């Protein structure tokens, strides 16, 4: 199996196929830890992991914090509002100061694309990108791969439909790259105003025939619609979006019988998908959440613990 | 002694007499832990307890967080402001996601009555109600029982006066129920506009003769006055309230000589009670705080640790 | 060596010379802990340290939190915004409640001078002043002493220039006292409007000749300029300040060849000092941050752990 040589996790694009598989394999053993009665291993005892989140995100922050704690690392939470960032300090300066305190990793979410890369270049500490702007969200892609593989046994040869606001979605970007890398066929769909020009260059197909996508997909990955996009005039109306791109029980009748419904959360029930579908038999949305902790444990372990 | 069979702690009303006594007995041994030099036992190592507080409450949140940490559980703090709740996600959806991360318990405070019950019905994780709307605050009632029993040796047969905004008080509701269950006689008092119709059905007596209540009570439980009630026109003025229902040294002269003054905190000194009385010889307000940690350790232990 | 007899750390002025040296000596061994692979010692296992910060301060809060965690203490974060302080409760009342929960130490930052002293007088728990108003910031002075001693081997006989808003600076006050106590010669400089009358009584010299200060100092300690001072009319303009008191590469040409540039952070690059100087060969700003954790571990250990 591949050896892990990276200091940081900035994007899935930096990972070789075998490295992705190493993460997934490592995550498998950690998933078992969270299912135990005593959900804790001493792998990262005495390490310090800082969560530096400058956007609201309970879900991802909690997932990383749990991952770190179950590996016995110490965790520190810093939110943009209360941090020195509010005093006008740059993120890099904040990060340099954290590094001077001998922390081992910074898990960062930031509204500007590329900020994690800047930190990674200047620091010896490990930087983990927990979502930067519209660019990348590598642990989301990794946990999606993990979930698909767990449910369907493979990734190569599968048809994956990714539907929604592709333009602003770091989840779509990271997933298109990772899925095609592992041999899946990805088709993206969504309002034409929210479809980035040249997305085909990432290896994805574009289609506006939602029914065809539903019929042909092994996996439907529905993206969260940012409601403020409507005010930005990208959308005629939420209702129109739900009608054209939303997935409900009726629409799913034409789907393959073992289709997987995925969503990075939080869902807008009644918009991207109906409540019935979100909670229904094809949905693996909560499996994604469960696997998220395991994948993040794997990433933290490979970055901090596996280096002897 | 009773065996503990509950998954959740939603209200004292769900507890049988022997179950209440089991909590108090268990709390007694945990109170000793917090008095040690090393205030920590390994009972809940590897368990995860989430604090989901959507109202400001340092006191109760800190008490639960300390309780969990002293039992060696991992804790995660989620506040309503920074959580996905702000993104319009429902509390149930947030809780379901937390459960998918294999957390063991959610301690929830919520402005709407009944929210903890909704979570309890849908989740396998233990739900602990840390105060929901005007309805229930079971750990407050339990710590009050613990404090009374510790100070006076019994509960049956005692006269308890509960004074203040009974209408909006979850503390009053939970205490009336628990105290009468254990054989105390409860009399409630307060502005008539803040006295709920039919409160007698809970087993309490109503009186507007504050001096009589002071004379006859073994315990005076003073409730925090929410200052905003005046703006809501429930009260003529704060000064008028303090004069009619506030307890000062002068008024206490007619009280029994071993009366206990209790308050769930934070106190409004000069309103519900004078500073002299709050810090005086009859006050057990800080004992309530101390016992709160022990009772919450007991509750967490019974819910998470005692099940083999 | 001195024995530690203090319950609290309120100000360096309360420390005897040998006690300061005891802190520095203890910090030396703890600095080694943070450089290890497993950055953790069990010294304060089962102790509870509360961070009660009513001003934004990632840096100091994080430094203390890391210090406590590396000593294996449990930590609780309380911020003024979410705490009962927002409900009008006094800080003393909050602290009394925390003490009733058997916590061992409160690390407090507060905008009003003297608040930590009030807590210390009324509580048995240890109070650590993490900055109160314009008055004192003892751990900052101690970490500055540690850094100077580490870099230059001594403190006695050194010339230290402290430059900036002396009037509002607790860092300046604590440092003037500590440095002169250990035999350094301190000269302060800055806008005349920001120079407190009678500062000489603390043992400092005053000079407005910035070039002379640069030439004669072994250490230049540059204070953060609070940008809002300009709106308060203390300053003609930020640019004017930078020109008169800012330190850049050009100005440093006249300095001693082993001068140390210190700053309590966060820096305003281009104001108090140029980016070149902040990141340059003379700067020990990040060493200060590293030493801050070690000094705070020493303080926590002496206050909580060393008492048998």
Contacts of C89 in chain B (CB under 8 A): 266-267
CATH topology for C138-288? Answer: Rossmann fold (3.40.50)
Q: How confident is the model at residue B84 (pLDDT cuts 50, 70, 90)?
A: low
B76/A290 Cβ within 8 A: no
Residues of chain A with confidence (pLDDT) below 50: 86, 308
What percent of chain B is predicted at pLDDT more than 90?
Answer: 84
Report the SS3 class of residue C51: strand
B139's tokens: 């750990």
What is the C-alpha to C-alpha distance for residues C305 and C308, in angstroms, rounded to an integer?
Answer: 7
Helix (H) or strand (E) holding B240: helix B238-245
Q: What is the mean pLDDT of chain A?
A: 93
Please indicate whether, in this complex, the C-beta atoms of A97 and C289 are within 8 angstroms of each other: yes
CA-CA distance, A259 to A252, in Å (whole number)?
9
Assess whether the previous peptide bond of B142 is cis (omega < 30° from 0).
Answer: no
Give the residue-averaged pLDDT of B277-303: 97
Q: How many CB atoms lie within 10 A of CB B224?
A: 18
pLDDT over threshold 90, residue B166:
yes
Where in chain A are the domains? Answer: 12-136+289-305, 138-284
CATH of range C12-136+290-305; options 3.40.50.1370, 3.90.180.10, 1.20.1340.10, 3.30.9.10? 3.40.50.1370
pLDDT reported for residue B308: 46
* ipTM exceeding cut-off 0.85 for this assembly: yes
Residue of B nearest to C93 (CA): B266
**Closest residue, chain C, to B35 (C-alpha):** C102
Among the four given CATH numbers 3.40.50.1370, 1.10.10.1100, 3.40.50.620, 3.40.50.920, the one describing domain B12-136+289-305: 3.40.50.1370
What's the pLDDT at C90? Answer: 81
Determine the pLDDT at residue A308: 46
CB contact under 8 A, B35 and C102: yes
What was the pLDDT predicted at B233? Answer: 79
Residue A56 to residue B101, Cβ atoms within 8 A: no
List of chain C residues with pLDDT < 70:
1, 54-56, 80-89, 306-308
Q: Token pair for residue B93? A: 């959806």
Question: Cβ of C48 under 8 Å from any chain B Cβ?
Answer: yes
Query: What pLDDT does residue C57 have?
Result: 76
Check CB contact of B103 with chain A, cutoff 8 Å.
yes
Amino acid C308: pLDDT: 46
- If phi > 0 it is left, if psi is from -120 to 50 it is alpha, else beta; for residue C203 that is left
Q: Which CATH number fits domain B138-286: 3.30.360.10, 3.20.20.70, 3.40.50.1370, 3.30.160.20?
A: 3.40.50.1370
Residue B100 near chain A (CB below 8 Å): yes
Residue count (chain A)? 308
Alpha-carbon dihedral of residues A290, A293, A298, A299, nearest 10 degrees?
Answer: 130
Query: B48-53 and B105-110: which strand pairing?
Result: parallel
- Say whether B88 and A268 touch across the interface (CB within 8 A): yes
pLDDT at position A302 is: 97
Percentage of residues of chain A with pLDDT beyond 70: 94
What topology does CATH give the domain A138-284? Rossmann fold (3.40.50)
Tell me the chain B residues in contact with residue C108 when contact means C-beta distances shorter than 8 Å. Answer: none
pTM, full prediction = 0.95
C292 with A47: Cβ contact below 8 A: no
CA separation, residue A141 to residues A226, A260, A291 (Å)? 19, 15, 11
Are C78 and B62 within 8 A, CB to CB?
Answer: yes
Q: Which of C54, C77, C102 is the mutation pick for testing B, counting most B CBs within 10 A?
A: C102
Q: Is B147 on the interface with C (CB under 8 A)?
A: no
């Amino acid at each position: 199996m591949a050896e892990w040589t990276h200091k940081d996790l900035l994007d899935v694009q930096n990972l070789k196929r075998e490295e992705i598989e190493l993460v997934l394999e490592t995550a498998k053993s950690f998933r078992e830890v969270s299912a135990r009665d005593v959900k804790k291993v001493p792998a990262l005892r005495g390490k310090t992991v800082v969560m530096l989140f400058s956007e609201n995100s309970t879900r991802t922050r909690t997932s990383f914090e749990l991952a770190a704690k179950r590996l016995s690392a110490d965790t520190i939470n810093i939110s943009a509002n209360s941090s020195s960032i509010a005093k006008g300090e740059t993120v890099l300066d904040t990060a340099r100061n954290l590094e001077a305190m001998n922390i081992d990793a910074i898990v960062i979410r930031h509204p500007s694309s590329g900020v994690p890369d800047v930190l990674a270049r200047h620091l010896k500490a490990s930087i983990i990108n927990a979502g930067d702007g519209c660019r990348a969200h590598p642990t989301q892609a990794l946990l999606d791969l993990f979930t698909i593989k767990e449910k369907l046994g493979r990734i190569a040869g599968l048809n994956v439909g990714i539907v929604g606001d592709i333009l602003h979605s770091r989840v779509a970007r990271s997933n298109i790259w990772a899925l095609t890398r592992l041999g899946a066929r990805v088709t993206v769909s969504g309002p034409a105003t929210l479809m980035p020009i040249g997305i085909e260059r990432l290896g994805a197909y574009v289609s506006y025939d939602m029914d065809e996508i539903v019929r042909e997909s092994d996996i439907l990955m529905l993206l969260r619609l940012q409601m403020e996009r409507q005010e930005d005039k990208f959308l005629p109306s939420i209702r129109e979006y739900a009608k054209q791109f939303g997935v409900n029980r009726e629409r799913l009748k034409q789907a393959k019988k073992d289709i997987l419904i995925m969503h990075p959360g939080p869902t807008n029930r009644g918009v991207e998908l109906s409540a019935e579908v979100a909670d229904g038999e094809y949905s693996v949305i909560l499996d994604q959440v469960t696997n998220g902790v395991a994948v993040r444990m794997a990433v933290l372990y490979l970055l901090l613990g596996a280096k002897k």
